[in-house]
Amino acid sequence: MSGNDFNGNIPSSLGNMSSLLSLDISNNNLSGEIPEQLVISCFFLRELILSNNNLQGQIFSNNFGLTELQSLQLDDNHFRGKIPESLLNCSILQVLHLYDNNLSGKIPRWFGNLSYLVDIVMFNNQLEGLLPKELCQCQNLEILDLSENNIFGSLLPCLSLSNIRQVHLSRNRLRGQLKDALYINSTTLEVLDLSYNHLEGKIPNWIGKLSSLSYLTLSNNNLEGELPTQLCNLGKLRLIDLSQNNFYGKIPSCLNFTALYKGNENDESLIYELPLFVVVEVIEVMTRGAEESIQFTTKTISYSYKAKMLTFMSGIDLSCNKLFGEIPHQIGNLTRIHTLNLSHNNLTGSIPKTF
């Protein structure tokens, strides 16, 4: 019943449908709270999608019977309070979308007990505290998005989870050095967004081992040092944003080995490879609906690219650093970039003829 013009409260009589497997009433104008009768009586419910409404209040009470839940999508509402501990009873939960709400409190340590979790998407809330080390126990995790919260402390050294595809931790208060706090040796990671934090130190050499990395944004931190040539090992790299840091040295001349160069043989099918929508084949009706986005600034205006549009966006932003020397002529051969920003550095020489 999604995508209609229903308003008012969710009828508590839905709780009488004790054999219901899937309920999708997203994209309406529903208000009020989630009926307790629904939460108590629909024992077999595997998919509950209430996204894009005007629902409010606490998410669930302690009276909870949805133990078979595999996908919970409550994003874009007005839910408040802490993430309910009753979710601990959802031992086979795979998809958890709570983004665009008013949730507060810490990220629960008991998330580590939900070993089947594939998606944790909770950006744009008021969550705070440290990243719990128990997240490292979620070995099936593919997407972790905790952007736009008040998370502080250091990164987790376990984000090298074997299946991880996207890590979004931008616009928090994370600190520490990348080389000590985070070691990733992943062949599946495609998006790494740690922008708008307080990270320090150099870009570690392990960055070159992320063979599937397509989008790297580390802007607006306190990173320093030279840009590592290991970036040139990333044959699928489409977008790199290292702006607003303290990087110095010369711009690597070998970036033409990335997907930004038209002649790169690895790039022919890139436009189809980034799995923004990954199907969970648990029950027939279950699909994943989160559209993970990347923000990229062009001429002081920040744009958000998501879903299919993200695959069409590519560029380099090294602005507002301390880079010096001449612009490598190889940069002019990167014919796949849509935007290039090298402003506010100490570059010298002329614009290469290859441009």
DSSP 76: S
Write the pLDDT tens digit of every residue in 114-162: 999 999 999 999 999 999 999 988 889 999 999 999 999 998 877 666 7
Neighbours of 13 (CB within 10 A): 10
> Which CATH code for domain 164-282+295-355?
3.80.10.10
DSSP 255: G
The answer regarding whether domain 1-145 maps to CATH 1.10.3720.10 reads no
pTM to 2 decimals?
Answer: 0.88
CA distance 49 to 151: 26
- The angle subtended at Cα 129 by Cα 125 and Cα 135, nearest 5°, is 90
Write the pLDDT tens digit of every residue in 330-341: 999 998 888 899
CA distance 84 to 261: 48
Backbone angles phi, psi at 110, to 5 degrees: -75, 0
pLDDT of residue 89: 92
CA distance 188 to 38: 38
Task: Note the Cα 84 to chain centre separation in Å.
Answer: 22
Residues in the chain: 355
Nearest to 106 by CA among 124, 134, 125, 129: 129
Backbone angles phi, psi at 126, to 5 degrees: -125, 35
Rg (CA), the chain: 22
Neighbours of 150 (CB within 10 A): 13
CA distance 341 to 67: 51
> By the 8 A CB rule, do 321 and 245 touch?
yes
For the chain, residues with pLDDT lower than 50 are 266-290
> By the 8 A CB rule, do 205 and 182 touch?
no
Which residue type does 186 have?
S
CA distance 302 to 294: 10
| Residue ranges of domains in the chain | 1-145, 164-282+295-355
**Residue whose entry in the numeric block shows the structure tokens 């998330």:** 111
> By the 8 A CB rule, do 205 and 183 touch?
no
pLDDT of residue 263: 64
Same fold, 1-145 and 164-282+295-355: yes
Q: Over the chain, what is the mean pLDDT?
A: 86
Nearest to 127 by CA among 105, 111, 144: 105
